[in-house]
């Protein structure tokens, strides 16, 4: 607070590595074109699995961001975190110098962290207990993304890792904004990463009947809100936003991309994987975010939906949007970019917040591709198949995770006169 006024939190830098490209602009170009990043798994032979498709990050070289020794001692989800942060800091033109380092914090989320490292070491242990790596623990624990980002970029402020399944990085962004508002930091590097594309993880989701099995048409497998959806597509990615106190950003002459104006977070307290009737927890999260932003529902022009392409989520989220927005639900645009990126689990909230910022910057709303067979229970404007030119002032991004976690973020277009 300054003189009784709440500190405003703005976005000044973005970094993104996704199945659609290894930077923000490449990924954004693909999203505008309605391209899918889903393909047959190439990292290992998936033929024994029911689901043989995924959203892999392609051509990523951690040595562009870490030295060889550091890369060898970090899990892929940490490598993606560091890479996305490096991009975001470069985009923000922010150097973390010794004088500002204590006021720069990190909040990074992941749903399953270094699961690949964990499985590799279990296999090694079964063969010979002496073969377990001394780096196993620091490589696999979720907080190491935030820890490694801080070490790489000398950020000495508040530092935390968030774990709330598919809401993990949305929580990270919301808590980062609250940290700045509370005056505990001037800058927060906020985001998330996921890199769990290994056979046992895919097999586990298959056992839950959660994944699409459309192996013969990978690019059509993720089809949120479509009647023929048969599950989500597991993907990997990393995303980071540089969040700053408005006055700090102005003093250093930063280019401001957007404002993080609202944050809401709730729990369903209902079921480990299924939403309650009417998705009342998501309803409360969205209403909380709107109240935090001091906005009426009619102010929202675009919603980046959680939209997982599962039977349980899509109809429930549609109903929640109708409850929150009333008649306005049919007037505003809603899309699920998971139709193109797949579901990046704990990284999804950060990726979709970044997409909202770029959508407002360029006046383009990304589509929901694979909208072919209308589902009567999903009857809103999902920007079907083709991107749409439209300038909106406020976006809402939804994230929901196993365990009943709900997060809603409101991002607002920056106007110089604001």
* Residue where a domain terminates, one of 184, 219, 251: 251
Note whether residue 341 is domain-resident: yes
Give the pLDDT confidence of 55-67 residue by residue, as tens digits.
999 999 999 999 9
Q: Is residue 291 part of a domain?
A: yes
DSSP assigned state of 154: T
* 3 state DSSP class of 377: coil
Question: Same domain, yes or no, for 215 and 358?
Answer: no
> How far apart, in whole angstroms, are the C-alpha atoms of residue 334 and residue 321?
9
Instruction: Quote the CA–CA distance of 30 and 23 in Å, as a whole number.
Output: 11
Compute the distance between CA of residue 294 and CA of residue 311 in angstroms, rounded to an integer. Answer: 33
Integer Cα distance of 75 and 4 in angstroms: 44
Mark which of 201, 231, 251 sits at the end of a domain.
251
In terms of DSSP bridges, do strands 237-245 and 333-335 run parallel, antiparallel, or are they unpaired? unpaired
Residue 2 lies in a domain: no
Taking the whole predicted model, whether its pTM rises above 0.95 is answered as: yes
Q: Where would I find the beta strands (DSSP E) of 213-314?
A: 237-245, 258-267, 302-304
Domain boundary pick from 202, 217, 251: 251
Catalytic residues: 166, 306, 343
C-alpha to C-alpha distance for 313 and 100, rounded to whole angstroms: 43
Sequence-separated (6 or more) residues with CB below 8 Å from residue 6: 181
Are 50 and 214 in contact, with CB atoms under 8 Å apart? no
Q: Averaged over 331-351, what is the pLDDT?
A: 98
For 202, the 3-state DSSP assignment is helix
Query: Is pLDDT above 50 for 417?
Result: no
Cα gap 265→371, rounded to integer Å: 30
pLDDT score for 3: 53
Flag whether 99 is in a domain.
Answer: yes
Please give the pLDDT value at position 277: 85
Q: Are 313 and 403 members of one domain? A: yes
CA distance 259 to 7: 11
Residues 147 and 209 in one domain: yes
Residues for the chain: how many in total? 418
Looking up residue 273, the CATH number of its domain turns out to be 3.40.47.10
CA 251 vs. chain centroid, Å, equals 29
Q: What is the model's pLDDT at position 144?
A: 98
For residue 201, the model assigns a pLDDT of: 97
Strand partners, 336: none
- Residues 311, 240: one domain? no
Is residue 76 within 8 Å of 237, Cβ to Cβ? no
How high is the pLDDT of residue 338?
98
* Residues 274 and 189 placed together within one structural domain of the fold: no
pLDDT at 170 over 80: yes
Sign of the Cα pseudo-torsion (194, 385, 42, 70, in order): negative
256 burial type by CB count under 10 A (0-12 exposed, 13-18 middle, 19+ buried):
middle
CB atoms within 10 A of CB 415: 9
- Structurally, the chain folds into a number of domains equal to 2
3-state SS, residue 380: coil
Query: Does pLDDT of 416 surpass 80?
Result: no
272 and 311 both lie in a single domain = yes
Q: 183 pairs with which residues across the strands?
A: none
User: What's the domain range around 39?
Assistant: 9-251
Residue 257 lies in a domain: no
Residue 418 lies in a domain: no
Q: Is residue 207 part of a domain?
A: yes
Statement to judge: residues 286 and 212 lie in one domain = no
| Residues 228 and 274 placed together within one structural domain of the fold | no
Q: Is the pLDDT of residue 2 over 70?
A: no
Query: Which pairing describes strands 333-335 and 302-304: parallel, antiparallel, or unpaired?
Result: parallel
Let me know if residue 4 belongs to a domain: no
First to last CA, the chain: 18
Residues 149 and 286 placed together within one structural domain of the fold: no
Helix (H, G, I), strand (E, B) or coil at 220: helix
Instruction: Please check whether residues 171 and 270 belong to one and the same domain.
Output: no
| Bridge partners (DSSP) listed for residue 411 | 260, 395
Q: Are residues 106 and 241 in the same domain?
A: yes
- Rounded to 10 degrees, the C-alpha dihedral 71/77/79/80 comes to 160
Query: 53 pLDDT band (50/70/90 cuts)?
Result: very high
Exposure pattern of 37-71 as b/e (b: 16+ CB <10 Å)?
bbbebeeeebeebebbbbbbbeebebeebbeeebb
The continuous run of DSSP H or E covering 145 comes out as helix 144-153
Residue 415 — pLDDT band, cuts 50, 70, 90?
Answer: confident
Q: Are 244 and 267 in a shared domain?
A: no
């Amino acid at each position: 607070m300054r003189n009784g006024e709440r500190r405003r939190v703005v976005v000044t830098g973005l970094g993104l590595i996704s199945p659609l490209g290894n930077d923000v602009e490449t990924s954004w170009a693909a999203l505008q074109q309605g391209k899918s990043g889903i393909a047959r798994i190439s990292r290992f032979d998936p033929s024994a699995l029911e689901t043989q498709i995924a959203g892999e990050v392609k051509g990523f070289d951690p040595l562009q961001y870490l030295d060889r020794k550091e890369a060898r001692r970090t899990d892929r989800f940490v490598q993606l975190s560091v890479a996305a942060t490096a991009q975001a800091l470069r985009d923000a033109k922010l150097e973390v110098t010794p004088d500002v380092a204590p006021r720069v914090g990190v909040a990074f989320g992941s749903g399953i962290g270094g699961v690949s490292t964990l499985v590799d070491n279990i296999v090694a242990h079964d063969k010979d207990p002496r073969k377990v790596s001394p780096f196993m623990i620091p490589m696999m624990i979720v907080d190491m993304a935030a820890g490694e980002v801080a070490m790489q970029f000398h950020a000495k402020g508040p530092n935390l890792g968030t774990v709330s399944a598919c809401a993990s990085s949305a929580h990270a962004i919301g808590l980062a904004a609250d940290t700045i508002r509370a005056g505990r930091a001037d800058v927060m590097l906020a985001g998330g990463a996921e890199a769990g594309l290994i056979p046992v993880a895919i097999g586990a989701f298959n056992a839950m009947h959660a994944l699409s099995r459309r192996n013969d048409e990978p690019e059509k497998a993720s089809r949120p809100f479509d009647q023929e959806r048969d599950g989500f597509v597991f993907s990997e990615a990393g995303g980071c936003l540089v969040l700053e106190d408005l006055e700090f950003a102005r003093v250093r002459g930063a280019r401001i991309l957007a404002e993080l104006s609202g944050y809401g977070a709730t729990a369903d307290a209902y079921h480990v994987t299924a939403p309650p009737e009417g998705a009342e927890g998501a309803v409360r999260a969205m209403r909380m975010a709107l109240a935090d932003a001091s906005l009426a529902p009619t102010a929202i022009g675009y919603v980046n939906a959680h939209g997982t392409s599962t039977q349980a989520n899509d109809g429930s989220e549609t109903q929640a949007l109708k409850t929150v927005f009333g008649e306005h639900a049919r007037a505003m645009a809603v899309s699920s970019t998971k139709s193109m990126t797949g579901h990046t689990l704990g990284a999804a909230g950060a990726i979709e917040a970044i997409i909202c910022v770029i959508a407002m910057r360029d006046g383009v709303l990304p589509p929901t591709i694979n909208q072919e067979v209308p589902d009567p229970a999903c009857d809103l404007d999902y920007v079907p198949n083709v991107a749409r030119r439209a300038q909106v002032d406020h976006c809402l991004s939804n994230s929901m995770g196993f365990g009943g976690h709900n997060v809603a973020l409101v991002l607002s277009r920056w106007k110089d006169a604001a």
